[in-house]
A and B are shown apart, each in its own frame.
Chain A
């Protein structure tokens, strides 16, 4: 039985979530129409979402705050998908890599528009940049660790720098997801995942598999 107090807290949190959902839907639609997050004012956002300006500021500090609240949820979802890739071991095959990367891309795909807005905002908003930097750092570290493990166990080629290669491949994914996957049809997404798999497979695993 919820108490009166808990019920009130629950409805406040629910109200915030509901508002966040409505505001983000507006952001996503406007971005989809080619506007940049930078140019969308809070005034416009609240009016299109049917929320008053003062209500907005009860729940969110600013536009960046609206995005960062959502970012935390998505980051952990993506980290869980990426862990499936980094758990691959000595019996790794191209099919296994394909399956793992397919999951990463499909987890990310519904969020590409807003994620792209996060990364755009990061170029001028230090608070947002801290969030995206932390996400990149954690993704690079995860892949670097996987590469080092693979090199020790012999299923990833030794002839590459784990640190720098992890960084380039992670930046490739970040930009590719935002610029390529975001705009792609279902069929094109399949081709993109296939190509992404080829690049990762031939860069890291194939030279070791062929005994090179």
Chain B
């Protein structure tokens, strides 16, 4: 990626990385106080972070660029956590799927302020929207591959159409995380993890994977 002409890129990337921490802290603090990312100015973010405006613009093009940089790492982690669900052993049971789903949900919730900013910005910032759309497309692609592998291996329900099934499930997860998980208290969070796991389990595995599903409170 970096060409010879962009030799300083290495240092620049390091400095960019160093600035992320204070900028993220400032943004989360401002958003937590009820501000919306859409309305936050770069001036206010840098002031709260104790970074000068000119320094900010050396390393970031604008607010959207900053947001993308902040979320790259988080998106990578969410992607890994989703993969961990599909990478479970063929004989994994409902409890195993639920445990890994809970880890995905917990990480999203931990970063709900940032995730909310991403989703809200994606509406008007084409670059953020495209990046986030790309993440979801990749997630759907990975799930479709899991469905195909599982159908061939006999541990995912046969007859499901991999692409549209995975597209629906990924959008369900994205929207449910944004609308339900962000707002949930601890008790309802557990119920949301149950519901999300149940839709995924019943659709893909129920009656196909050998492990019986435990009784669930409702």
User: Which secondary structure dominates where chain A touches chain B?
Assistant: helix
A175 to B36: give the CA distance in the assembly, Å.
22
Give B195-218 as 1s and 0s: 1 = Cβ < 8 Å from A's Cβ atoms: 110110011001100000101101
Query: Is B203 a contact partner of A174 (Cβ separation < 8 A)?
Result: no
Query: Is A171 a contact partner of B198 (Cβ separation < 8 A)?
Result: no
User: Which secondary structure dominates where chain B touches chain A?
Assistant: helix
Residues of B within 8 A of A203 (CB): 198-199, 202-203
Residues of B within 8 A of A157 (CB): 202
Query: Is A168 a contact partner of B195 (Cβ separation < 8 A)?
Result: yes
A194 to B160: give the CA distance in the assembly, Å.
9
Q: Is A78 an interface residue (CB 8 A)?
A: no
Residue of A38, A39, A174, A202 most packed against chain B (CB within 10 A): A202
Q: Is A27 an interface residue (CB 8 A)?
A: no
Which one, A38, A164, A174, contacts B192 given CB within 8 A? A164
Q: Which of A69-77, A107-115, A204-212 lies at the interface with chain B?
A: A204-212
| CB of B132, distance to nearest CB on chain A (Å) | 11
Which one, B123, B164, B172, contacts A36 given CB within 8 A? B123
Query: Is B157 a contact partner of A202 (Cβ separation < 8 A)?
Result: yes
Given A36-B123, A124-B120, answer yes or no on A161-B38 (Cβ-Cβ < 8 Å). no
A167 to B5: give the CA distance in the assembly, Å.
52
Query: Is B188 a contact partner of A207 (Cβ separation < 8 A)?
Result: no
Of all chain A residues, the one with the shortest Cβ separation from B215 is A159
Query: Is B161 a contact partner of A169 (Cβ separation < 8 A)?
Result: no
Residues of B within 8 A of A164 (CB): 180, 188, 191-192, 194-195
Residues of A within 8 A of B180 (CB): 164, 167-168, 171
- Which B101-156 residues sit within 8 Å CB-CB of chain A? 119-120, 123-124, 126
Given A202-B206, A203-B198, answer yes or no on A39-B164 (Cβ-Cβ < 8 Å). no
Q: Is B53 an interface residue (CB 8 A)?
A: no
Of all chain A residues, the one with the shortest Cβ separation from B116 is A123
- Which B149-202 residues sit within 8 Å CB-CB of chain A? 157, 159-161, 163-165, 167-169, 171-172, 174-176, 179-180, 188, 191-192, 194-196, 198-199, 202
Given A158-B218, A180-B167, A195-B164, answer yes or no on A175-B172 (Cβ-Cβ < 8 Å). yes
Of all chain B residues, the one with the shortest Cβ separation from A133 is B179
Query: Is B195 a contact partner of A176 (Cβ separation < 8 A)?
Result: no
Query: Is B207 a contact partner of A171 (Cβ separation < 8 A)?
Result: no
- Which A157-184 residues sit within 8 Å CB-CB of chain B? 157-165, 167-169, 171-172, 174-176, 179-180
Q: Show 25 residue pairs from A and B whose CB-CB distance is below 8 angstroms, ordered by the A residue.
A: A38-B124, A123-B119, A124-B120, A160-B194, A161-B195, A164-B180, A168-B176, A171-B172, A172-B168, A172-B172, A172-B176, A174-B175, A175-B174, A176-B167, A176-B168, A176-B171, A192-B164, A195-B164, A202-B202, A202-B203, A202-B206, A203-B199, A206-B206, A207-B202, A212-B206
Given contacts A172-B199, A176-B168, 9 further A-B contacts (CB under 8 A): A124-B38, A167-B180, A168-B180, A171-B175, A180-B168, A191-B163, A196-B168, A198-B203, A210-B207
Q: Which residues of A contact B (CB under 8 A)?
A: 36, 38-39, 120, 123-124, 136, 157-165, 167-169, 171-172, 174-176, 179-180, 188, 191-192, 194-196, 198-199, 202-204, 206-207, 210, 212
